[in-house]
Structure 1
Amino acid sequence: MPPPAPEDAAPSPSSPSSELSERDRAVLAMERRGWPGPGAKERAIREGLGISPTRYYQLLGALLDDPRAAAHDPVTVNRLRRLRTTHRARR
């Protein structure tokens, strides 16, 4: 039997579970919110999710490629995918 995955590891898209973890749903919910000013989102990430903003954006990037995330919140995921594509094209 393989060892359990670390708690902060993002589930792979080929994972047998068809639902997102509570943390993954919280990351998507964080992206749906509006932010009043600089630093507010980073503070909310640290306080609300208990992870660093760097780790948050790593998890978010993996979620954008996860079909379960698109099924859970297609509007947010598709918006973020468009932004990612735009940002990559500018580079």
Structure 2
Amino acid sequence: MTVDTPGPGPSDDPADEGEGEGEGEGGGGEQDGGREQVDSPAEGQHLEPGPGAGLSDRDVAVLAVERRGWPGPGAKERAIRERLGISPTRYYQLLNALLDDPRALEHDPVTVNRLRRVRDERRERR
């Protein structure tokens, strides 16, 4: 029976999407072209970078260490040296710079905002 409209609908949509890709590249079909521009990898990378985009592996690891709760400063310092291979002083320098980096805020907003509040409170006390 031809009463089942859901069957032909979905089969028509993929065909339209396939045609929209060709037309989007050629400049035809404003509605389909608009969708294709958002989905195209080149423009998608510039418009909506993924989580952690632009951060180095080390920067992501610094945020991961800071996100975790530590029983005391000794354990945290050992973990910094073992996992990151840097001194705690260098770690805190990198962390402070990350707090001002919008890419870090995008990657881990909870941790970055918490640390910004702590930093601001300490600065106000001085």
Q: Please classify the TM superposition score into its range, dividing by the shorter chain length.
A: 0.7 to 0.9
Q: Which residue is equivalent to 1:75?
A: 110
Mapped partners of 2:57, 2:73: distance in 1? 26
User: Following superposition, which runs of at least 4 residues in structure 1 exceed 6 angstroms of deviation?
Assistant: none
- Which residue among 75, 80, 84 is the counterpart of 1:49? 84
Mapped partners of 1:70, 1:37: distance in 2? 26
Q: CA deviation at 1:84?
A: 0.3
Q: CA deviation at 1:36?
A: 1.3
Unaligned runs of 5+ in 2: 1-52
Computed over aligned residues only, the root mean square deviation of the Cα atoms, in angstroms, reads: 0.8
Deviations 1:8-34 (A, max 9, x none): xxxxxxxxxx42000000000001101
Mapped partners of 1:37, 1:46: distance in 2? 15
Mapped partners of 1:30, 1:86: distance in 2? 21
Residue type of the partner of 1:90? R
Q: CA deviation at 1:54?
A: 0.4
1:30 correspondence with 2:65: yes
Q: Larger relative CO (CA 8 A, sep 6+): 1 or 2?
A: 1
**% same residue:** 81
Residue type of the partner of 2:113? N
Structure 2 residue matching 1:63: 3-state secondary structure: helix
TM-score under structure 2 length normalisation: 0.57
Q: Which residue is equivalent to 2:22?
A: none
1:59 correspondence with 2:94: yes
Mapped partners of 2:81, 2:124: distance in 1? 30
More helix by share: 2
